[in-house]
Amino acid sequence: MGADSRVCHCRAHAPIESLLRIHPVADGTRVVVWHGSAGVFCYDFDGQELWKKDLGETRHDWGYASSPILHGTKLILNFGPGSRTFLAALDLKRGDLHWKRDEPGGLDATDKRMVGSWSTPIVIKVDGKDQILCSMPTRVIACDPETGSVLWSCGGLANEKADLVYASPVVSGAIGVAFTGWVNGPTIGFKMGGSGDVTTSNRLWLEAQQQRRGMIPRCFSRRMRLDSFTYCSQIIKSLAMVEMVCKRHDGTTKRVGNAL
Does the domain at residues 25-248 carry the CATH identifier 2.40.128.630? yes
The mean pLDDT of the chain is 77
Better-predicted residue by pLDDT, 190 or 61: 190
Q: Does 11 or 51 have the greater pLDDT score?
A: 51
> Taking residues 193-209, what's their average pLDDT?
93
pLDDT band at residue 213 using 50, 70 and 90 as cut-offs:
low
Residues 107 and 213: their CA atoms lie apart, in Å, by 20
- The full set of domain ranges for the chain reads 25-248
pTM: 0.77
Q: Letter for the amino acid at 212? A: R
| Pair type for strands 97-103 and 85-91 | antiparallel
Return the pLDDT at 246.
Answer: 30
Q: Is the pLDDT of residue 54 over 50?
A: yes
> Of all residues in the chain, what percent carry a pLDDT higher than 70?
68
pLDDT given for residue 148 in this prediction: 97
What pLDDT, in 10s, does the model give residues 12-40? 444 444 445 678 999 999 999 999 889 99
Q: CA 181, CA 119: separation in Å to the nearest integer? A: 10
Q: What's the whole-number mean pLDDT along residues 141-154?
A: 97
Of the candidates 220, 217, 219, the residue with the CA atom closest to the CA atom of residue 229? 217
Instruction: Give the pLDDT of residue 114.
Output: 80
Q: Among residues 57, 49, 7, 13, which one has the least CA distance to residue 32? A: 49
